[in-house]
Amino acid sequence: MEEVEKIINTDKETPDNRRVNEGPIKEADKYRPIEEDTKHRSIEEMERQCEAYRRSRHNLKQVTDSLPWPMCVVSPADGAVLYGNGAFMECFYFGVQPSHEEEKQLWSILPGQQSDGTNSNENITRFFADVLASSASVTSEQEYILASGETVLMRVVGTVIDDEGQPLISLVMQDISALKRERELLRSLADKERDANELKSRFIINMSHEIRTPMNGIIGLADIQLQKTYDRENRAAFKKISLSAKLLLAIVNDIMDYSKIEAGSLTIDCGEFVLENILYEAMQTAGERLGDKKVAMLLQMDNSVPRKVIGDQVRVWQIVQNILDNSAKYTDKGSIRMEVSLMEVVEDAQTLLFRIADTGRGMNKEQLDKAYTPFEQFGGSDWKNSGTGLGLPVTKQL
């Protein structure tokens, strides 16, 4: 009895309130209840982790299935499609899992050849190699065959994902067939517009050349008659003929230059000329437009301005003449003044500043905003002597 009590009394409580007998119990069996409890708790923890993993996979699948773009995970070794979201399955399998192994290969939804003649399998193999070699996503365009049999162009973004040390490739696809058709249509329209502009420019240049030749003849004959004729009425008539021909020739030149500018074929020549001579010629042409108006034409050149300069004398004359011509159109009294000064000198290059002012009616802000718009007339129908509306636009381009 005492022996039994001794065995019973040797029991003692463990920290978790369980009693452990320290009597004749063997040392190896002393903590067996603790080991069994630890194993039990480890199993519960693993079950919780597995459940969390299953929930995570379920949530991820819900997210990928909600995407409107086809998405799949592929083995780069054999092209096997290991996973496809809802959009992928719907696009390529009508939402039904394929029953044959060969249908689970990515190659099964690729045409034999792309529209550019390249081999589809070779293209996708190169694409896989590029994805595996890159640390970032790689984008490509490939044609795929839908479940309906239609071939569409897909923009594919490939990314490497790690599956316990094995590289897999995630593919996200976007159908860009409609976008490609729109791009081709826009490219076709742009080509047609370019061809039409070139044809229009060639036509205008050819017509301008045909008009300029007889107009130069008229101007030349009128000038000859002015030298031979001393009768006042005849001289006035020949002056009007010469002026009208020159004005018409200026319009033709503006149209031709504008067409050249549009076509990108306008060239600038470079040669030495006496600047003052060109400016006087431009002022003389503008002065003829003034007719009987009481307007003074004044030219002031600073002493720092060189007598001879290098540039395109025809274009310099054209620019100055266009601006002076506008002043002559809309100035009824007072003066038109042109000032030329040296603006800056950089090594051998000199920049000259031309400033032209007149006492004409001027322009309001709205008219100034439209001054360099092609074919825009100054002020509309209430302004007389309107031209083509190309003088200032051409001048600005030059």
Residues 174 and 154 sit within 8 Å (Cβ to Cβ): yes
Reduced to 3 states (helix: H, G, I; strand: E, B; else coil), residue 353 is: strand
pLDDT of 144: 93
The b-or-e profile of 115-147 (16+ CB within 10 A means b, else e) is eeeeebeebbeebbeebeeeeeebebebbbbbe
Name the percent of the chain lying above pLDDT 70: 84
List phi, psi (to 5°) of 169.
-125, 125
What's the mean per-residue pLDDT of the chain? 81
pLDDT of 5: 42
Mean local confidence (pLDDT), 107-116: 87
Angstrom distance (rounded) from CA 129 to CA 22? 67
331's tokens = 């100035």
Q: Which residue has the tokens 């597995």?
A: 50
Q: Any idea which of 27-41, 159-173, 212-226, 228-242 has the lowest mean pLDDT?
A: 27-41
- Per the model's pLDDT, the better-predicted residue between 32 and 241 turns out to be 241
pLDDT of 301: 93
- Per the model's pLDDT, the better-predicted residue between 285 and 128 turns out to be 128
What is the value of pTM for the model shown? 0.48
- Per the model's pLDDT, the better-predicted residue between 163 and 122 turns out to be 122
- The string of pLDDT tens digits covering residues 289-299 is 887 889 999 99
Residue 304 has pLDDT above 50, yes or no: yes
Amino acid at 59: N
**Can you give the C-alpha Rg of the chain in angstroms?**
45
Angstrom distance (rounded) from CA 278 to CA 66? 75
Mean local confidence (pLDDT), 111-125: 88
Residue 47 has pLDDT above 70, yes or no: yes
Residue count of the chain, please give it.
398
Q: Which residue has the tokens 């065995």?
A: 7
Residue 7, CA distances (Å) to 29, 31, 34, 152 in order: 16, 17, 21, 85
Confidence of residue 8 (pLDDT cuts 50, 70, 90): very low
- Beta sheet of 71-74, edge-to-edge order: 81-84, 71-74, 166-175, 151-163, 138-145
Mean local confidence (pLDDT), 47-68: 71
Cα–Cα–Cα angle for 365, 369, 370, rounded to 5 degrees = 120
- Which residues 6+ apart lie within 8 Å of 287 measured at CB? 297, 328
Residue 265 has pLDDT above 80, yes or no: no
- Per the model's pLDDT, the better-predicted residue between 103 and 123 turns out to be 123
Q: Which residue has the tokens 């979201």?
A: 85
Most confident of 176-185, 191-200, 370-379: 176-185
pLDDT of 246: 79
pLDDT of 276: 92
